Amino acid sequence: MSPFQLEIQLVAAVVAVACALPGTFLVLRQMAMMSDAISHAILPGIVIGFFLTGNLSSPILILGGAATGLLTVVLVEWMRKTNRVREDAAIGLVFSALFATGVILIARYAGDVHLDTDAVLLGELAFAPFDRLEIAGYDLGPQSLYSTGSVGLLCAAFIMLFYKELKLATFDSALCATLGFLPGLLHYALMGLISMTAVAAFDAVGSILVVALMVGPPISAYLLTNRLDRMILYSILLAVTAAVSGYWIAYLLDASIAGCMAAIVGVQFGILLCVAPNQGLLAAWQRRKRQRWQFAIKMLVIHLLQHEGTPEAERECRVDHLQEHLAWEKPFAANVVSRAAAQRLLYPVGESLELTVTGRELAREAIVHH
């Protein structure tokens, strides 16, 4: 592995962490599409910053981008509040208008400088090591490592400092407000961080991969756990894995690095969707299979309990009646009855079924704890 390759992977991993951290909160707050909106809307901010500084990795660019990101949030909020346009439409309108402005600015005024729309949308990680930070003649490594690294640290610091408040604002915004934690301010702070991350990362990976890394790993992690701290941890691990393995696959295929990383994010989700311990499709299928019998047994005992001692009991509590009224197939009904009998919940009396004491209790319990 050449030092260049190592540096590329390092930058990729740092970007992955910087995206996954605020992305977790975006997904939980059901605002994942804001990452898409912001990562597109920062374009005019970047372009103007670039005109001012002539440098794509200047901190002013990050501030300019963050300002446009916040402008997006404010505009969406304003449009929503007018009640004339719904929030989802407002998001789509605002970011595309800003992005279109950015594209036009580039086309008109940046024709011959190193800034084109492809670069913003797609990024080129392979070039990251060429743009180096030098202080007093010392080579300190790729510049993007420092810009994404500092934004990543900022995200980490923000989340660690305000973990409790963010958690509260995410799960119970009303309570958060009554406790005086200003969920609105937290919201804007989070959006500001997302904007800064998007600006710092676009140069390396492009805005679409920013969306992939902000949304993909958190939703995959959401399949694995219910706990916020675990979810953040898993998101980071998944994002870094996707970034590094995506790089190597791109290297082997000689394809777009950002594209491969996004594809790996998709593969990760696909695998976890199938095999995740509780939320996964396989687990759900097995659980359903197991619960199907338990559910059927409960249904049977409740049915028997409801009709116990009533005039129609003799008719209702027969095995053949179950097929007819519960719409059960004959073998299924027989199977449920024999399972229930094995658990000593009922016993057959001639053609009809009667509950045991345990069976009656189970039925009552099922009715109360529905």
Which 272-331 positions form the footprint of another protein (CB under 8 A)?
Answer: 273, 279, 281, 284, 287-288, 291, 295, 298-299, 302-303, 306, 325-328
Write the CB contacts of 18 (distance below 8 Å, at least 6 apart in sequence). 148, 149, 151, 152, 155, 197, 200, 201
Among positions 209-238, residues that touch another protein (CB under 8 A) are 209, 211-212, 214-216, 218-219, 222-223
**Token code pair at residue 350:** 């001639």
Q: Is 139 left (phi over 0), alpha (psi -120 to 50) or beta?
A: beta
Site membership for another protein, residue 33 (CB under 8 A): yes
CB of 233 to another protein, least distance (A): 19
Q: Is 234 in a helix, a strand, or coil?
A: helix
Binds another protein (CB under 8 A): choice among 17, 208, 244, 317: 208
How many residues interact with another protein (rule CB under 8 A)? 77
Q: Output 91 or 154, the one with its CB closest to another protein.
A: 91
Q: By C-alpha distance, which of 93, 100, 115, 121 is closest to 37? A: 93
Beta strands in 289-349 (DSSP E): 346-349
Q: Output 56 or 79, the one with its CB closest to another protein.
A: 79
CB of 30 to another protein, least distance (A): 5
Q: How many whole angstroms separate alpha carbon 138 and alpha carbon 132?
A: 10
Q: How many whole angstroms separate alpha carbon 260 and alpha carbon 265?
A: 9
DSSP letter at 252 equals H
CB of 129 to another protein, least distance (A): 19
Site membership for another protein, residue 126 (CB under 8 A): no
Q: How many whole angstroms separate alpha carbon 6 and alpha carbon 125?
A: 12
Q: Output 60 or 281, the one with its CB closest to another protein.
A: 281
Site membership for another protein, residue 154 (CB under 8 A): no
Binds another protein (CB under 8 A): choice among 52, 60, 100, 161: 100
CB of 132 to another protein, least distance (A): 25
Site membership for another protein, residue 187 (CB under 8 A): no
CB of 365 to another protein, least distance (A): 12
Binds another protein (CB under 8 A): choice among 54, 55, 74, 96: 96
CB of 226 to another protein, least distance (A): 10
**Token code pair at residue 219:** 């939703």
DSSP track, 20-47: HHHHHHHHHTT-THHHHHHHHHTHHHHH
Q: CA torsion sign, 55 to 60 to 62 to 68?
A: negative
CB of 220 to another protein, least distance (A): 9
CB of 346 to another protein, least distance (A): 15
Q: By C-alpha distance, which of 106, 30, 94 is closest to 68? A: 94
Site map 1..30 versus another protein, x via CB under 8 A: --------------------------x--x
Site membership for another protein, residue 107 (CB under 8 A): yes
Rg (CA), the chain: 29
